[in-house]
Amino acid sequence: MNSGPLLFLGILFTLASSFWGLVLAPQLQIGRQPLRTIEATGQIYPSGRPGLAQEGAEVYRANGCAECHTQQVRPRGFGADFERGWGRRRTVAQDYLHDYPVLLGQLRIGPDLANIGVRETDALKHLKHLFNPKLTAPGSMMPPYRYLFEKRKLKPGQSASPDALPLGNEVEDGHEIRPRPEANALVAYLLSLHSEAPLFEAPLPQTPTNAAPNEATSTNTGPTTSTNTSPTNAATNLLTPVPAK
């Protein structure tokens, strides 16, 4: 086989096969996935992010938070994401429809953040964590993001600004630490991170005790829009969830 054209065609064909298979075919399958209404709450899911949180997403992207933090919960029984409390259900394609870029992340040097807005709702704690992670998580290996904050000298007798961080001994006397707008935006973004809406392809686990009754029923209702056969059904069966030990 020394013929150039044949070689050329072969070269094109091989790559074309996966280009069709892995790039274009999924685009046909879930490229036009619609927003859906969650029956239990009547809300459209996923709902868009408020403006400040959207700005925060840019801060998250620009500073490469995704280098260490993933935003994806694996299925129950595959890894211990569920047991670690990173999410009550796996994340599915529906959760990411509004994200650009989608920052799934590849490494977990830090914990998963897909549901950080559910786990920690206190904005002040987030700010403190960003300023010096060791304050809120002793022993944490996360780098401090002091450049997202502003250190200001207080004039004698001047009281601290309302948004200054209550840091106690951490800050020198006569100074205050205030979050810059980037820090506030980033925290707004973190608070907006939650993927726990009950979906047809990813229902919340039915917990026999202390679960609100409407939540338990909502898991079986399925999608309410006209596209009742969800294109991501396949994703549910990804790895048959084995009950964790």
Minimum distance of other proteins from residue 224's CB (angstroms): 20
CA–CA distance, 73 with 197 (Å, rounded to integer): 13
Minimum distance of other proteins from residue 139's CB (angstroms): 4
Which segment (118-126, 154-162, 210-218, 228-236) binds other proteins by CB under 8 A?
228-236
Minimum distance of other proteins from residue 72's CB (angstroms): 5
Minimum distance of other proteins from residue 22's CB (angstroms): 5
Sort 64 into a burial class: Cβ within 10 Å, 0-12 / 13-18 / 19+: exposed
Minimum distance of other proteins from residue 195's CB (angstroms): 9
Beta bridge pairs of residue 150: 178
CA–CA distance, 125 with 72 (Å, rounded to integer): 23
Q: Residue 16 or residue 212: which is nearer to other proteins going by CB?
A: 16
Name which of residues 28 to 47 contact other proteins (CB under 8 A): 29-33
Q: Residue 97 or residue 167: which is nearer to other proteins going by CB?
A: 97
For residue 111, the SS3 value is coil
Name which of residues 176 to 215 contact other proteins (CB under 8 A): none
172 binds other proteins (CB under 8 A): no
CA end-to-end span of the chain, whole Å? 56
CB 96 within 8 A of CB 136: no
Q: Residue 212 or residue 242: which is nearer to other proteins going by CB?
A: 242
Minimum distance of other proteins from residue 135's CB (angstroms): 13
Out of 6, 44, 62, 124, the only residue in the binding site for other proteins (CB under 8 A) is: 62
Phi-psi region of 79 (alpha: psi -120 to 50; beta: other; left: phi over 0): left
CA–CA distance, 133 with 143 (Å, rounded to integer): 7
239 binds other proteins (CB under 8 A): yes
Place of tokens 């994806």: 72
CA–CA distance, 118 with 137 (Å, rounded to integer): 17
54 binds other proteins (CB under 8 A): no
CA–CA distance, 151 with 156 (Å, rounded to integer): 16
Minimum distance of other proteins from residue 26's CB (angstroms): 6
- Residue 91: alpha-carbon gap to chain centroid: 9
Place of tokens 């209404």: 37
235 binds other proteins (CB under 8 A): yes
Name which of residues 124 to 153 contact other proteins (CB under 8 A): 133, 137-147
Name which of residues 67 to 126 contact other proteins (CB under 8 A): 67-68, 70, 72, 74-75, 78-80, 83-84, 90-97, 99-111
- 9 membership: H or E segment, kind and range: helix 4-18
Q: Residue 65 or residue 188: which is nearer to other proteins going by CB?
A: 65
56 binds other proteins (CB under 8 A): no
